[in-house]
A and B are shown apart, each in its own frame.
Chain A
């Protein structure tokens, strides 16, 4: 059993009493600290990503560089959040969440401070894009996993509470604009670095758990983080991050691969299907099933110990690439991601070309951010798909300010709507067993799309000298993305035929 204990030092470093009531109480009480930290991470990380559009304008004017080049900074920053997660998962296992989180906070603050000295776009690409991106990945991953570990009882609620932090990001846009007006972009970055440093004490709140039961589950979750090598962030999390639920379901998936128990864990995975759902009602059933996971995992503990060293098997499962259904989904996923980030980056710049001040542009971003959070309808699947088509249509016309305001409102309906479609569609299309490997690959492609989207749009601007094209491009991408769903029936037929052969 010592092999099983492995190096979960974090769990053991808590006072020797281990399972004493005192520590359990402390561990329980500070679950809220973890939620608070995750909340703060959401606010700051998402806020910075979204307000990058304001920096975009400032960088273009003062540092120089074409639209495409400056877009690279933002895209590296946001895509590294996805792509860096596997690496962060490894680091988390080595160091533990708390040091990783502090490291992440340090990276982010350091990146901000370093950027104040920037004189050229490549420099900024590294300091602001790379450092901030990796820092965000560290922070987000550690916080998400810790939330899952700690808040066993009220996972849904704490998750929702933490993610509502994204709603507050609307405050950051006008605030950033104000800072830029007072201090210029260098002063703003300096102050941002300080604000990010606040994540260091809040990371220290990520106290490691100490009771045995969570430890076991925690081990499974670290397994899950290793599994997360191939699925950095889930799409279901409002495009914004991994979910602990995912990891839990992965650990549940480990068991099936060992014992061949597929059915009971289907429920867990369907829980993963709505990771971003804010309705507690929806989450209560997956919640209870996730609580079953540790007990089931305990039973399958011994076999798991044997397989722990070779999780590479399910990791390199390339079968999704042979599945046409995968292509269908990834296609739509890819294009909606491409479409998603562009508006945020170019919104302010476009507003400027239309004659609005930067201040108004930042309010637009704020509106976009706020609407996103406040909208939680759960329309039917078909409605969602069509909802997506309306949005890019709106993106075409932006001349007057009056028509511009509804645009971000509608635009923001699309990504979260699509994000909710994504998991349920997945489950329908591919079945629960293969869910995580599909999602893994899809998320990886999504990361690539997130990286390529804004620079592509920026290049379009440089080529055509107008931002209309980049918005049209985003709109076209969003329109293209649901097209693949129309091929779904024929793809299913093809699959059945193949299976029958």
Chain B
């Protein structure tokens, strides 16, 4: 990671799937104003001691074995001014539709979560009030169907929707290094929701048609009598 003379802090996102060895290093650009600064590596707020310093770079070697070792690592260079670079180590993020999925009562809904890396296991949760309730598709096989299309994707199909099925759903992917969650929102509308404006328009149309029809009759009568 190269740092220039700019004051802005630099960020990096690193996605880790399996336990690996990672080396993070901060290098100073040779044209920088900073000369021999004091460098500290921190994980969160704690300082890491076993850092390695070479001529113009400071690095730290990490062995990531479990989720506790993931997090935010930063290198802080203190000279006249203070620069920092931040590394985010995290599990793969889940992609899910951000906009609410709109369905109707009695319909079926399909919710899809996917990642870029194969996940070991997927779990779906439904929010019941404040609690998260796991969805067990073997228990309610006629209502919920969890289909694992590929290692990267999972689909939850809910049949025979009711009003109570609306709300926030979570899909959880389990990786070796931890779990990752995605949020989906389901909105269940009743048929009457779009039906009301529709009927209003139909009523308006009928009024127009009748008016024109009556006007025609009237003008025909008028001309017949004229």
Contact = CB atoms under 8 A, between A and B. Distances in A.
Interface string B197-226: 110011011001101110010011001101
Contact of B198 (A26, A182, A193, A358): A193
B213 A183 contact: no
Given A197-B201, A197-B205, A200-B209, A187 B226 contact: no
Interface string A164-188: 0000000000000000011110111
Given A200-B209, A201-B205, A194 B103 contact: no
B198 A22 contact: no
Given A198-B205, A201-B208, A204-B212, A187 B189 contact: yes
A22 B209 contact: no
B184 to A, nearest CB: 13
B8 interface: no
A184 B226 contact: no
Contact of A194 (B198, B213, B224, B226): B198
B139 interface: no
Contacts of A22: 223, 226
Nearest to A188: B194
A411 B212 CA distance: 42
Interface string B152-172: 000000000000000000000
A120 interface: no
Interface in A274-324: none
Contacts of A16: 224
A191 interface: yes
A184 B201 contact: no
Interface residues of A, number: 29
Interface in A341-359: 357-358
Interface centre among A17, A26, A186, A207 (most CB of B within 10 A): A186
B102 A183 contact: yes
A191 B195 CA distance: 8
Given A181-B99, A183-B102, A204-B213, A198 B193 contact: no
Contacts, number: 66
Contacts of B198: 190-191, 193-194
B114 to A, nearest CB: 13
Contacts of B219: 26
Nearest to B194: A187
Given A181-B99, A183-B194, A190-B195, A205 B205 contact: no
Interface in A366-389: none
Given A184-B103, A186-B104, A187-B193, A15 B224 contact: yes
A225 to B, nearest CB: 25
Nearest to A181: B99
A197 B223 contact: no
B194 A190 contact: yes
Contact of B201 (A183, A191, A204, A358): A191
Nearest to A187: B194
A207 B216 CA distance: 10
A211 interface: no
A483 interface: no
Given A191-B197, A194-B198, A197-B202, A184 B209 contact: no
A15 B223 CA distance: 7
Contacts of A188: 194
Nearest to A189: B194
Interface in A1-52: 15-17, 20, 22-23, 26
Contacts of B201: 191, 194-195, 197-198
A183 B189 contact: yes
A183 B193 contact: yes
Given A200-B205, A205-B212, 13 more contacts: A16-B224, A17-B223, A181-B99, A183-B102, A183-B193, A187-B104, A194-B202, A197-B205, A198-B204, A198-B208, A201-B208, A204-B213, A358-B99
**CB-CB nearest 3 A-B residue pairs:** A187-B194, A194-B201, A184-B102
